[in-house]
Amino acid sequence: MSFAVFGAGCFWCVETIFLEAIGVIEVISGYTGGNIPNPTYEQICTGKSGHAEVCKIVFDPKITSFESLLKIFWENHDPTTLNKQGADIGNQYRSAIFFTNESQRIISEKYKKQLNKKGIFNNTIVTEIEQLNKFYRAEDYHQNYYSNNINQPYCKFIIKPKLDKFINNMKK
């Protein structure tokens, strides 16, 4: 198995999308990129920890590739907004790829450069690409959040439309 770590706003949204992706074995919500060891959700929410909400996507490279996961990453959030995704604002919601090896770094930088060159987005991509240092698993109640809280307003009005869009795009 291999894994990728992406920050693309609220990890509940990211987790829900990637759990539907072909070849993904497990998605773990967590934190990385900051300066506090073993951070809590409360510390992350202050925006002062430096950590981003991220998902660690465990995948089978025989079934899917890092490039395929990157495609999902780019298509399912706005990589042009600094420290913001929708109504979620703060550096904990930044767009980021935390590479685990040199190959992931090269592929990520190349993909980002190509998207900017092609003008896929109206604005310049601000996604950070940095080496993963330490991944901290988020509290248990954040894991599988959407499936465990499907009737919660954030799930119904924010996550569900993103999930529906992703599933519809997969069928095309």
- Distance (Å, whole) CA 130 – CA 146: 28
* Single-letter code of the amino acid located at 95: S
- Distance (Å, whole) CA 141 – CA 95: 23
What is the DSSP pairing of strand 24-32 with strand 128-131?
unpaired
Active site residues: 10
3 state DSSP class of 28? strand
Handedness of CA 38, 53, 23, 100 (dihedral sign): negative
As a whole number of Å, the CA-based R_g of the chain is: 15
Asked whether 80 and 121 are in contact (CB, 8 A), the reply is yes
DSSP-assigned letter for residue 66:
H
